[in-house]
Amino acid sequence: MNYILSNPEAFIIYMNTALLALAYFVIYPKFAKDEIKKLMYFDIGFSVIWLIIAWYFFWWKDIPFTIWFMNVGWVSFSIIMYALFETFLFIWYSKTYWVALRTVADEKAQEEKTESKNDEK
């Protein structure tokens, strides 16, 4: 516990790395694959789990966290670091597993364009 309190930024970064590695390299490929809705649900779950872990260690402690020369609270630091790490991992995952980021409306609009082009010919 002393290490966590002596270097809280490193602890949050290590935990982010461990949790997101578990999510993106083990859980998501096995259970969500290329389905964006499942990815979103799993991601909300992992985000909540991470905030509970951070809450357990840093609630009631007045520890300053530093981001780009600014002091922020543990919640802000945790969310910003998690989002930063996850952005790059999601881009990699969506390219690797061909995650379709289009909605149903986008697909229908694309089909209508294709049909109209075929009708013109």
| pLDDT > 70? residue 114 | yes
Name the burial class of residue 93, with classes exposed (0-12), middle (13-18) and buried (19+) by CB atoms within 10 angstroms of its CB: buried
Percent pLDDT > 90 in the chain is: 37
> How far is the CA of 51 from the CAs of 45, 47, 76, 112, in angstroms?
10, 6, 11, 43
Q: Please check whether residue 65 is in contact with residue 71, taking contact to mean a CB–CB distance below 8 angstroms.
A: yes
Number of domains in the chain: 1
Per-position DSSP letters for 61-107, written without gaps between them: ----EEETTEEE-HHHHHHHHHHHHHHHHHHHHHHHTT-----HHHH
Fill in the amino acid letter for 51: L
* pLDDT-derived band at 106, boundaries 50, 70, 90: low
Range of the structural domain that residue 45 is part of? 2-120
* pLDDT-derived band at 4, boundaries 50, 70, 90: low
d(CA 27, CA 48): 16
Fill in the amino acid letter for 4: I
pLDDT digit string, tens, across residues 6-53:
788 888 999 999 999 999 999 999 998 888 888 999 999 999 998 998
pTM over 0.85, yes/no: no
